[in-house]
A and B are shown apart, each in its own frame.
Chain A
Amino acid sequence: MSTLTLGIIVIVYIFILAWLGWMGYKRTKNSSDYLLGDRKINPMIMALSYGATFISTSAIVGFGGVAATFGMGIQWLCALNMFMGVIVAFIFFGQKTRRLGVKHDARTFPQLMGLHYNSPLIKQICAGVVFVGMPLYAAVVMKGGAVFIEQVFDMDMNIALFIFTVVVAIYVITGGIKGVLYTDALQGIIMFVSLLFILIWFYKIMDMGFIEANRNLTNIAHLVPDRLKEVGHQGWTAMPVTGSPQWYTLVTSLIMGVGIGCLAQPQLVVRFMMVENGKQLNRGILIGCIFIFFTVGSIYHVGAMSNLFFLKTEGMIASELVNDIDRIIPYYIDKAMPSWFGAIFMLCMLSASMSTLSAQFHTMGAAFGADAFPKLGRSKNPNSTMGVRIGVLISIIVSYIICYALSASIIARGTALFMGVCAATFLPAYFCSLYCKWVTKEGALASISIGAVSSLFAMLFLHKAEAAPIGLCKALFGRDVLIEAYPWPMIDPLLFALPLSVIAIIVVSLMTKKRP
């Protein structure tokens, strides 16, 4: 399909987004609308937005490429996204979060924590972690979206990044959360339809059933390259060797990191507070699980199966045909799918990036304008949205600068970094705010502080994937990590920081007075 045709499709898509952003703008009257949609968001829109926010380009192209290279072990990510990220989150966290939000009239996650524990300091720390940590995560998503545009349109990366950022910025700043949710719903539908089609098309062109294809993939395990066997690869329908580098990455960073981290993501938690009552969340469970099953479940499965396709058509497995993991899925799309599907997939990738990015911009803006500086822009009108809009703009600029300033190797870790920091920092205090009346303000504060500090320490000095590119440990101690003995450098920071955060909330709460 020609660049002109693709360009026209993108322009039409952007106009639709602009219209949805405009609708959000017209329906936003005050800060409650801007932050939470006045707690009356349709559950289908909320659930689609939740799923679309959850799944970014890196989840589709990045982890899809991991599935193509390393196999079906990555499906644990899909299973845990559904189990922890939707079922446990909505039922055990969402219902109580929604009621707690109403009780305290909280409009952001930091506000929820601060008001519940009666501590402005907790609110400020939570807002600070969001505003300092999330730009790195946002920079990852921005980079992914811009790289994609650069490839599809053969455009200069700087221009691609600028255009991409400006488009998202416009509908987030003007439309607020309603603009974000309406566009997310459209983007979620595009993602759902296109990824489901990829799954169906695979079985059509390979002319085999689900079980037969799995058996065929098992039977080519002997084709795993030696360089991948060395890190634990045993075939595309087998888990890596227990204790191997690939096993540690899969289990500690992906399975445990995402499986636990997804429960304490501020931009996801806040969505629980947007619906009117509990049954809206019940409806969201059905929509959320179906969405994740047929989006990431499909692409991870097809990613692994792409090896069968490439063997049949080109006589090689995916990782030998395409060196760069991130380019395997786009290559598969180019070779396996009908020519017209390229445009649909392009919209799918743009949608995945934009939906995640818009939620991040809005959450960061809220942390800045509603939590850290609540009086900003409100000297004359306490319900003014100006402060949050300024916060969104500043967040975008900071993320944009980070996208340029940091190296690719650090930015590539941004998703895992942020998820891990959120889990260790927020999860114990968040969980206890819902279930443990005996936890004190001091205990929550200790947990949040220790979670944040220990996460940072582990990233800078213990976990090689972050410590090596950052280089601080090397500069101070002459080595990439403090503990070089295997497997310590492979263990995700979450496994150090979260236990410390849990111990802190229990011990300090027991040592201090009960909350009145």
Chain B
Amino acid sequence: MFGIDDPGIWLAYLLAFACLIFSVGYGIVFWNKDNKNEKEEEE
């Protein structure tokens, strides 16, 4: 994968790319959403 034979290396790149995609998606989805527990605490 990625032109790299050793899975010990391309797994690191895969994890980094996955984290990047996750963080972008998570940030967009939860940009204006408060945590559920916080709302309960405020109430």
| Residues on A facing B (Cβ under 8 Å) | 71-73, 75-76, 78-80, 82-83, 86-87, 91, 95, 99, 210-215, 218, 234, 237-239, 277-279, 282-283, 285-290, 293, 297
Since A86-B19, A278-B34, A279-B33 are in contact, a sample of 9 more A-B pairs with Cβ atoms closer than 8 Å, ordered by chain A residue number, is A75-B13, A83-B19, A237-B4, A237-B9, A238-B8, A283-B31, A285-B23, A286-B23, A286-B27
Q: How many angstroms from the CA of A234 to the CA of B5 in the assembled complex?
A: 12
Whether the Cβ atoms of B4 and A214 lie closer than 8 Å is yes
Q: How many angstroms between the C-alpha atoms of A73 and B13 in the bound complex?
A: 10
Per-residue contact bits, chain B 10-34, to A (CB 8 Å; 1 contact, 0 not): 0011011001101110111011111
Contact B9 A279 (CB under 8 A): no
- In the assembled complex, 19 residue pairs joining A and B whose CB atoms fall closer than 8 Å, in A order, are A73-B8, A78-B16, A79-B13, A79-B16, A82-B19, A86-B19, A87-B19, A87-B23, A95-B38, A218-B5, A237-B6, A279-B31, A279-B34, A285-B26, A286-B31, A289-B20, A289-B24, A293-B16, A293-B20
A211 — which chain B residues lie within 8 A by C-beta? 2-3
Find chain A residues with CB under 8 A from B33 CB: 279, 282
A-B interface, 3 closest residue pairs, ranked by CB to CB distance from nearest: A286-B27, A289-B23, A214-B3
Are A218 and B4 in contact, CB atoms less than 8 angstroms apart?
Answer: yes
What are the residues of chain B within 8 A of A210 when measuring CB–CB?
2-3
| Nearest CB of chain B from residue A147's CB, rounded to whole Å | 29
B4 in contact with A95 (CB, 8 Å): no
A342 to B34, CA, bound (A): 43
Complex Cα–Cα for A277 and B33 (A) = 10
User: B40 to nearest A CB, angstroms?
Assistant: 11
CB pair B27 A86 closer than 8 Å: no
Does A290 contact B9, Cβ atoms closer than 8 Å?
no
List residues of chain B with CB within 8 A of the CB of A78: 12, 16
Selected contact of B9 from candidates A72, A86, A87, A282, CB within 8 Å: A72
CA of A211 to CA of B1, assembled, Å: 9
Q: Is the CB of B41 closer than 8 A to any CB of chain A?
A: yes
Main secondary structure of the interface of A (DSSP, over half): helix
State the CA gap A219–B31 with chains docked (Å).
Answer: 44
Q: Please give the number of chain B residues whose Cβ is less than 8 angstroms from any Cβ of chain A in the complex.
A: 28
- How far is B9's CA from A75's CA once the two chains are assembled, in angstroms? 8
In the bound assembly, the distance between CA atoms of A285 and B3 in angstroms comes to 29
Question: Which A residues touch B12, using CB under 8 A?
Answer: 72-73, 75-76, 78-79
Smallest Cβ-Cβ distance to B22: which chain A residue: A87
Residue of B nearest to A209 (CB): B3
B residues within 8 A CB of A99? 37-38, 41
Q: Closest approach, in angstroms, between the C-beta of B19 and any C-beta of chain A?
A: 4
CA distance A290 to B9 in the complex (A): 20
Q: Which residue on B lies nearest to A71, using beta carbons? A: B9
Cβ-closest chain A residue relative to B31: A283
**B37 CB to nearest chain A CB (Å):** 7
In the bound complex, how far is the Cα of B22 from the Cα of A423, in angstroms?
A: 26
Residues from chain B with Cβ under 8 Å of A214 in the complex: 2-4
Q: How far is the CA of A215 from the CA of B27 in the complex (A)?
A: 34
Q: Report B-chain residues with C-beta under 8 Å of the C-beta of A237.
A: 4-6, 9
**Taking CB as reference atom, which chain A residue is nearest B39?**
A278
Contact A285:B27 (CB < 8 A) given known A211-B2, A237-B4, A239-B8: yes
Residue from A82, A87, A277, A286 in contact with B34 in the complex, judged by beta carbons closer than 8 Å: A277
Return chain A residues, CB-CB under 8 Å to B23.
Answer: 82, 86-87, 285-286, 288-290
A328 to chain B, nearest CB (A): 19
Closest to A211 in B: B3
Residue of A at shortest CB range from B35? A278
Inter-chain CA distance A226–B19, complex, in Å, is 36
Q: Whose C-beta in chain B lies nearest to the C-beta of A278? A: B35
A297 and B34 CA atoms in complex are apart in Å by 30
A212, A238, A285, A286: residue with the most chain B Cβ atoms closer than 10 Å: A286
In angstroms, how far is the closest chain B Cβ from the Cβ of A284? 8
Cα A217 to Cα B4 in complex, Å, equals: 9
